[in-house]
Amino acid sequence: EVTKRSIRLETWQKIKDQKLTPLRRFSVFNKIPNYIGAEKAAELLAETEEFKKANSIKVNIDLAQEPVKLEVVKAKKTLFVPPAQKSSNVYAKIKNCNPDEQDLATQKKIIKLQGEEDTFQEIDMHGIEKLDMVVVGSCAVSRQGHRIGKGNGYVDLDIGILTHLGVITKDTLIVTTVHDVQVYDTLPENLFQTYDLSLDLIVTPTEVIRVSKRLPRPAGIEWKLLSSRRLEIVPVLKCIKEFEEKSGKEIELKAEDTDVESYQQKSRQNKRSFRRNQSGQRREKTDGEAAEGGKPGGGRPQRKNRYRRNTRRSTNNTGESAAEKSEGEEKAGGEKDAGDGDGKKGGRDRLERDLCIRVTNIARSMRIKELKQELRTRDCNPNFITWNGYHGKCYLHFPKKPDQSDDDAGAELLKQLEDLTLTVT
């Protein structure tokens, strides 16, 4: 049976098999894929008449669309991006980003809302401006204008919100930039609902696809499809609901929480239960066969679990105990390291982590992403973070320059991390 999920899996697998991602160590599954050629697709989009005529352009946060943001800034158009996480505002307007005066690294910080406070302005539902173009990421698209995202429905919901507020009009173009392998000639019509967004323009590194006949778009917010939990996740929805109710409108939400995240969590729980049950059944079967008086050695004996003993290696990272490693080394990008094995399963050479700095007094409620955000603002990017937040500490692993001594490298890092404090809200 062809489903959206099967099409996503097929597309992700093609990207993986053809090695189309710039960072192959990271999985392409369950996300909007970044791909080799994203810059070329952005340049091709910037050359279209549709882009040249647009003045106000909103671009989503996916990494594959980062080059599009830079093209918008380069063309001196008004760039809008999603607001900070858990913000109740509609979007953020980028300001004071000038390619003629700022280097590329500074521009990238600004378009990610990591620059100074005067480089962006978050706008609420009462101060919104209309958009000429919206650029989104996609997992798979068809030449007829159908789009399949990564599966959580947030982009479709965002388009519904912007349409409800009048930010997106019939004149607003919805565009995506994708790799050529993400483009299908057709996708089954029965897979798409009224809340699924459709595309006007599809740009790949090699071609521009203009959809001749626009497919139906979300007409607004479909409240009956949303749970109260979804309103907590998307605060602007809560603001819109309260505003609508004050004006006398009755809004009814979905009674049962069946949003995508619930299914994913339930699926993980079911898988764990299944594995436990399977393990129990194997043990019961083995005991039963013994009770029936089976011949000793007649069947293949169950092999005991084998444990690999990690040999101690020399390293400059002092103070890292086995207990601290047990919580998993986390890459600066957010993925857990597979461990220091024989290198067959994503193991990383310890030589890439020459220096280690311990951070203490971490509140239990603090999350690793909050620390990463603060480190990025200081232009301090560790290769790995060994996170042990429950015990109030973590370890930052940094590479050392070949011509730099341990003392000099340590002093440079400590200067960058001087007076590091975080406020947990």
**Side chain identity at residue 389, one-letter code:** G
Q: What are phi and psi of 175, to 5 degrees?
A: -125, 150
The residue that leads in pLDDT, 301 or 414, is: 414
Q: What is the pLDDT of residues 130-189, one digit of tens each?
A: 999 999 999 999 999 999 999 888 999 999 999 999 999 999 999 999 999 999 999 999
Q: CB-based burial of residue 55 (10 Å sphere; 0-12 exposed, 13-18 middle, 19+ buried)?
A: middle
> What pLDDT shows up at residue 335?
43
> What pLDDT shows up at residue 399?
80
Q: The domain 4-221 is classified under which CATH number: 3.90.79.10, 3.40.50.40, 3.90.1170.10, 3.40.50.10420?
A: 3.40.50.10420
Which stretches of 248-372 are assigned E, i.e. beta strand? 329-331, 355-360
391 confidence band (pLDDT: 50, 70, 90): confident
The b-or-e profile of 110-148 (16+ CB within 10 A means b, else e) is bbebebeeebbebbebeebeebbbbbbbbbbbbbbbbbb
Can you read off the two tokens belonging to residue 335?
């993925």
**Which of 41-45, 118-122, 138-142, 289-293 has the lowest average pLDDT?**
289-293
Q: Say which DSSP state 385 is in.
A: E
Of residues 413, 408, 350, the one with CA closest to residue 384: 350
Strands 56-59 and 78-81: parallel
Q: What is the pLDDT of residues 306-362, one digit of tens each?
A: 555 554 444 444 334 333 333 444 444 444 444 444 444 444 444 445 788 888 888
The per-residue pLDDT of the chain, averaged, comes to 80
Q: Could you give the C-alpha distances from 206 to 38, 67, 88, 319, in angstroms and in order?
A: 11, 16, 38, 52
Are the CB atoms for 398 and 382 separated by under 8 Å?
yes
**Side chain identity at residue 151, one-letter code:** G
What 3-state class would DSSP assign to 201?
strand
What is the H or E stretch that residue 81 is in?
A: strand 78-81
Can you give the pTM of this predicted structure? 0.63
Bridge partners (DSSP) listed for residue 78: 56
How many Å apart are CA 161 and CA 239, to the nearest integer? 11
Query: What do you get for the CA distance between the two ends of the chain, in Å?
Result: 46
Taking each helix axis from N to C end, the angle separating 38-46 and 66-74, rounded to the nearest 10 degrees, works out to 30
Could you please state the CATH topology (level 3) that the domain comprising 322-416 is classified under.
Answer: Alpha-Beta Plaits (3.30.70)
Q: Where does the chain hold its CATH 3.30.70 domain(s)?
A: 322-416
**Which of 10-19, 234-243, 317-326 has the lowest average pLDDT?**
317-326
Residue with tokens 């071609």: 207
What order do you get walking across the sheet with 140-142 strand by strand?
Answer: 147-148, 140-142, 183-184
Percent of the chain with pLDDT over 70: 76
Q: Where does the chain hold its CATH 3.40.50.10420 domain(s)?
A: 4-221
Bridge partners (DSSP) listed for residue 173: 133
Q: What are phi and psi of 98, to 5 degrees?
A: -120, 110
